[in-house]
Amino acid sequence: MTAEGVMVSYNYSEDEEHANILTVSASGLLFSNRWVLTHGSILSPLKQAQAIQNLKGKPILNDDFYDNLPEIHVTCEKKSSNVPNVYEGVEKMSRERNMDGDADFEHSSYQIRVLTGRICHIWQCPILDRCVDDILYSWTIGHRDGDVDKQSQLGKTLLSVFVLVDLDDDRGVKSVRPLSELFDMVRPAPQRGSTIEVHSTPFGCEVFLNAVTRGTICGVVGKKPSLLLTDTSTALGSEGGPVFTEGPTKELVGVVVCSVAWWRGEWVGLTLVAPLLSVLGAKLHVMPPAPAKPVGSHPYSGVLERIDSTAVLVRCGAAWGAGVHLGAGYVITCAHVVTNYTIYKVSVYCKGVKETAIVRYKTTDDKAYDLALLYMNPQYWTHLQAAVLASEPAEKGEPVLAAGYPYFSERDLEPLRPTVTSGHVNSTSPSLLHTSCCVQSGFSGGPIFRVTKDNAVEVLGIIVSSAKTHNGACYPNINMAVPVRAFAQLLNNFLQDKDVSKLSTIENNREMIQSQWRLMPYRSKI
């Protein structure tokens, strides 16, 4: 059995006027040459979407509900058939007459096939639904236009909804059969750090039909798991697109459930993927098999344990970010993460341990460099490693990793691990490091890592912010960090005799540096 990415669409009009007909589309997964699995976001304009929201996870058993759904069109790549088609010669002649002689008429990008079908089953995955309630409750799903609250509530409801389309329209077939077939095809979710491929059709545009993008699994939510976060680039319309492991086998592991999300007014920049083995296992009441060996690979997979033992979560009141463990009970983070430390206690989390920390030093708010030094009892942190600060400055173009905590659940700290995204150094100066790693709230104070040839991990800088323009537009893949060379010597001097006054010059008052960090004529998030 094979699986391929397709585009799923239908025509829709609120007032049934032909002049107002819109095409609604999403990506999808065609399997067994008959069935298509897509994501519930495709239902958002329909009145049935509101009915699903009102049902709150209860199964949809009403035949009228399905009878009133629109006809579905499935667009996929045209493949050569072993059975001769009497019309193929005529089609080829027609293409040759209507296109330039220099074009490769037989290229797959010029040839598509459109199939029709009907929606035969819709269901809500309880695992994903709980994940939305526990982790993504403060996130905004989808656009930021119009009624954001109403749209986000519907988006969160549909995030855990899946749609099954039957291309044969045989109403006697139960949905359990095709979902069981799909369950047998999928493989366990890749581990954090693995490389994956997303096959999708962004914007519902046939020009981008079944486009392939690659990235890494940055974070895994839940023990089952419930949700995968990836820095693979996607866009609206990618929801429902199949996700495969990279390599010649390309094993099917999941589907995209969200390409655009906002949190604290910032674009998250990560794609959310549902692991199909967990989703289908919950639907069929089947316990997914434990993976015999790690699925997928990534050149940095061997360094993740060292990253997990260095990057910590820092929380102060309602604010939280990341920090870097320096050893001997010291953690460096951003000043804006602990700006309210006189009102709220500062807590540090890592690998199931939570302890209170004190602020030994903090720069003035809204000034470079935005840094703070914390201290906690070192006897509780013997399971962590002290970070190695890079002795050589960052080089433009070198690959780097960023670590942070865009989400966490205080009720379940044991599996808490940082989200790790990859990118490159875009530019560097003695006072500012600019990278393309995907960074959002929760990464402030986290490290930018260099991975050396022998797989050692060095900290190049401390993440401060992503770029944000004067009108509020935020860019998670354009972010700034304080280079290690700007504070490393001052930090070493302090650690020798614990004289806090030796840290005072970290707050650099030179106008050129302050202006640089304000991103004139733009400004940074801080």
Pairing mode, if any, of strands 161-166 and 35-39? antiparallel
Secondary structure (3-state) at 67: helix
Q: How confident is the model at residue 513 (pLDDT cuts 50, 70, 90)?
A: confident
Structure confidence at residue 63 (pLDDT): 78
**Smallest Cα–Cα separation from 319: which of 345, 342, 337?**
337
pTM for the full model? 0.85
- C-alpha span between 233 and 268 (Å, rounded): 12
182-195 mean pLDDT: 92
Task: Mean pLDDT check: name the lowest of 3-12, 250-259, 382-391, 464-473.
Answer: 464-473
Which has the minimum average pLDDT: 178-192, 240-254, 351-365, 493-507?
493-507
The predicted pLDDT at position 301 comes to: 59
Q: Alpha helix (H) ranges present in 135-275?
A: 148-159, 176-185
* Rounded Cα–Cα distance for residues 471 and 51 (Å): 37
As a 3-state breakdown, the chain gives helix, strand, coil percent values, each rounded to 5, of 25, 35, 40
CA distance 507 to 118: 63
Q: Which two tokens stand for residue 300?
A: 């940095």
Q: What is the average pLDDT across 387-403?
A: 94
Q: Which residues contact 9 (CB under 8 A, 6 or more apart)?
A: 23, 24, 25, 26, 72, 73, 75, 204
Q: Which pLDDT tens digit goes with each residue over 291-331?
A: 545 544 455 657 898 999 999 999 999 899 999 999 999 99
- Does the pLDDT at position 110 exceed 90? no
Residue 60's pLDDT is what? 74
Percentage of the chain modeled with pLDDT above 70: 85
Classify the phi-psi angles of 384: left when phi > 0, otherwise alpha if psi is within -120 to 50, otherwise beta.
Answer: beta
Q: Is the pLDDT of residue 144 over 70?
A: no
* Domains identified in the chain and CATH numbers: 3-284 (2.40.10.120), 305-524 (2.40.10.120)
pLDDT digits (tens, 9 = 90+) for 310-320: 999 999 998 99
Give the model's confidence band at 369: pLDDT under 50 very low, under 70 low, under 90 confident, else very high: confident
> Hey, what long-range contacts does 211-215 have (CB within 8 A, 24 or more apart)?
214/246, 215/271, 215/422
Q: What pLDDT shows up at residue 212?
A: 94
The CA distance from 401 to 340, in Å, is 29
Give the residue with greater pLDDT, 416 vs 397: 397
Q: Which residues pair with 329 in a beta bridge?
A: none
Residue of 7, 6, 5, 49 lying closest to 24 (CA atoms) = 7
Q: How far apart are CA 172 and CA 187, in angstroms?
A: 29
Structure-token pair, residue 524: 């940074």
- Is residue 147 pLDDT above 70, yes or no? no
Per-residue model confidence (pLDDT) at position 202: 94
Does pLDDT of 82 surpass 60?
Answer: no
Q: How far apart are CA 212 and CA 433, in angstroms?
A: 30
Cis check for the bond before 483: say yes or no (omega within 30 of 0). no
| Bridge partner list, 321 | 314
pLDDT at position 524 over 50: no
Query: 297, 190 in Cβ contact below 8 A?
Result: no
Residue type, 364: T
- Sort residue 205 into left (φ over 0), alpha (ψ -120 to 50) or beta: beta
Average pLDDT over residues 406-428: 85
Give the integer Cα–Cα distance in Å for 504 and 156.
46
Residue whose entry in the numeric block shows the structure tokens 């399905």: 66
Please state the separation of Cα 479 from the chain's center in Å.
17
| 52-55, long-range: CB < 8 A, 24+ apart | 52/122, 52/124, 52/157, 52/158, 52/161, 53/153, 53/154, 53/157, 53/158, 55/124
- d(C-alpha 200, C-alpha 210), whole Å: 5
Distances (CA, A) of 446 to 311, 336, 383: 7, 12, 19
Model pLDDT, residue 459: 97
More confident residue, 3 or 242: 242
| Strand partners for 434 | 427, 480
- For 51, other C-beta atoms within 10 Å of its C-beta total 13
Contact 205, 112 (CB under 8 A): no
Q: Whole-angstrom Cα distance, residue 255 to residue 200?
A: 10
Name the pLDDT band for 372 (thresholds 50, 70, 90).
very high
pLDDT at position 77 is 85
The pLDDT of residue 171 is above 80:
no
Q: What is the DSSP string of 234-292?
A: --TT-TT-EEEESSSS--EEEEEEES-EEETTEE--PEEEEEHHHHHHHHHT-PPPPPS
Closest alpha carbon to 368 in 429, 287, 450, 452: 429
